Amino acid sequence: MEDQDLPGVLVSGFEGPSGICKDHVGELQKYFNLITMQDLLENKTQVGPKIQAAYIWNRKPAIDQELLQSLPALKIVANAGAGLDHLDLKLIASFGVKVANTPQAVSSPTADMGMALLLAAARRVVEGHQLATSPDTKSFSTNWLGQEVTGSTLGIIGMGSIGYKVAQRARAFEMNILYHNRKRRKSEEEEAVGATYCERLDDLLQRSDFVMLAMSLTPQTQRLIGRRELRLMKPTAILVNIGRGLLVDQDALVEALQTGVIGAAALDVSYPEPLPSLPHLYFRDHPLLKLKNVTLTPHIGSATHQARWQMMENLIGSILASLNGLPIPNEVLLK
Ligand SMILES: O=C(O)[C@H](O)CO
């Protein structure tokens, strides 16, 4: 089949941080005629009607009313990842367009990342690396200590598939596991990982040595962890965030880390991303970038070769199913 005969799929572009994965282009082109946002902007009337699916990678392209209006043949928005906070699901549905995502592909690597951050913050791995590679051997002191993970208490907020996989991993570290979730898990699921349900978030915060945020961002969870919640945590507690930056009041977090209200934070997500996002700033001066008790990673929960490839394959499957009028794997249904 000629490229032009294949269904048109909109992608953000091929280059830069918001472009699709370079290694995936050849595979995607076996099924689709890839049309970039640039192509669309340059020739809206010709190109727009050819686009039947939008392929969202790294939250791009942004799907808004104007874009939806310019894509009369659009059938599906196929989103890489589990989080949907960047998509207006009601607006998309009002155009008769379906949405699919890739929750299974991201849950294990994101849970791995949660444990990696927890361990790194507890055992001060990044600082340790800096010490070990520093020519100044005098700065190493025998009082340079971290927190024990084995036998400590982990509070998981958000016990969806990522939170549950964190619990499975934490069990192998003999951690006591507490969790808070909109809905309590079945008792056999709790027993399988040895997790105790905390109906009150405050309880979990007061009892945990580590607090892991693994829930999605919604109007209800935005800034769930604020000044009051941070003050409930132990002064030695470590906050790990693998969800979204906006789950936490970041100013309150900075203050808590600076004043010893909590011990440390390990964050794969922040707002904005990266910190700060203003492109004209030549230096990066956000306080979170300077604190020794902060471990930061650039939103890489699902950033493994295997997960990203699986995400792409899942999206191809969802797009093809929708274009062929078949049940769509991983379709996101409006609640
Ligand atoms: O939403 C998700 O799953 C991640 O943030 C994207 O990789």
175 and 283 both lie in a single domain: yes
Confidence of residue 276 (pLDDT cuts 50, 70, 90): confident
**What residue's CA is closest to ligand 1, atom 2?**
81
pLDDT attached to residue 18 = 76
Q: Which residues line ligand 1 (CB under 6 A)?
A: 81-83, 106, 301-302
Q: What angle do CA 253, 257, 258 make, to 5 degrees?
A: 115
249 and 264 both lie in a single domain: yes
Distance 78 CA to ligand 1 centre (A): 13
Atom number of ligand 1 nearest to Cα 82: 3
CA distances from 329 to 31, 98, 146, 326 (A): 17, 11, 44, 9
Q: Evaluate if residue 284 carries a pLDDT over 90.
A: no
184 and 261 both lie in a single domain: yes
pLDDT attached to residue 256 = 98
Confidence of residue 15 (pLDDT cuts 50, 70, 90): confident
Distance 102 CA to ligand 1 centre (A): 9
310 and 210 both lie in a single domain: no
Q: Evaluate if residue 3 carries a pLDDT over 70.
A: no
Q: Is 244 inside a domain boundary? A: yes
65 and 137 both lie in a single domain: no
> What range does the domain containing 188 cover?
107-296
What's the pLDDT tens digit per position in 180-230?
999 999 999 999 999 999 999 999 999 999 999 999 999 999 999 999 999
93 and 140 both lie in a single domain: no
139 and 209 both lie in a single domain: yes
Number of domains in the chain: 2
The DSSP line for 224-265 is: -B-HHHHHHS-TT-EEEE-S-GGGB-HHHHHHHHHHTSSSEE
Task: Check if the beta carbon of residue 48 is closer than 8 Å to that of residue 77.
Answer: no
Q: Evaluate if residue 250 carries a pLDDT over 80.
A: yes
219 and 308 both lie in a single domain: no
Q: Is 279 inside a domain boundary? A: yes
pLDDT attached to residue 280 = 52
What's the pLDDT tens digit per position in 139-186?
777 888 999 999 999 999 999 999 999 999 999 999 999 999 999 999
Which of 18-32, 131-145, 309-323 is most confident?
Answer: 309-323
Q: Is 3 inside a domain boundary? A: no
Total residue length of the chain = 335
Active-site residue (options: 124, 185, 299, 308):
299
Q: Quick check: is 299 catalytic?
A: yes
Q: Evaluate if residue 303 carries a pLDDT over 60.
A: yes
180 and 291 both lie in a single domain: yes
φ/ψ region of 158 (left if φ > 0, alpha if ψ in -120 to 50, else beta) reads: left
Active-site residue (options: 273, 286, 313, 331):
273
Q: Quick check: is 273 catalytic?
A: yes
pLDDT attached to residue 285 = 79
Task: Check if the beta carbon of residue 301 is closer than 8 Å to that of residue 109.
Answer: yes
Q: Evaluate if residue 245 carries a pLDDT over 70.
A: yes
Distance 190 CA to ligand 1 centre (A): 25
Confidence of residue 16 (pLDDT cuts 50, 70, 90): confident
Average pLDDT, the chain: 94
3-state secondary structure of 150: coil
64 and 136 both lie in a single domain: no
Confidence of residue 136 (pLDDT cuts 50, 70, 90): confident
Could you give the CA distance from residue 8 to residue 266 in angstroms, rounded to a whole number?
A: 41
pLDDT attached to residue 278 = 57
Distance 25 CA to ligand 1 centre (A): 20
**What residue's CA is closest to ligand 1, atom 6?**
81
pLDDT attached to residue 2 = 58
Q: Is 1 inside a domain boundary? A: no
**What residue's CA is closest to ligand 1, atom 4?**
81
Q: Domain of 257: which CATH number? A: 3.40.50.720
Atom number of ligand 1 nearest to Cα 299: 5
pLDDT attached to residue 135 = 86
ipTM above 0.90, yes or no: yes
What's the pLDDT tens digit per position in 57-84?
999 999 999 999 999 999 999 999 999 9
pLDDT attached to residue 19 = 85
Mean pLDDT of 9-23: 89
Confidence of residue 279 (pLDDT cuts 50, 70, 90): low
278 and 313 both lie in a single domain: no
181 and 265 both lie in a single domain: yes
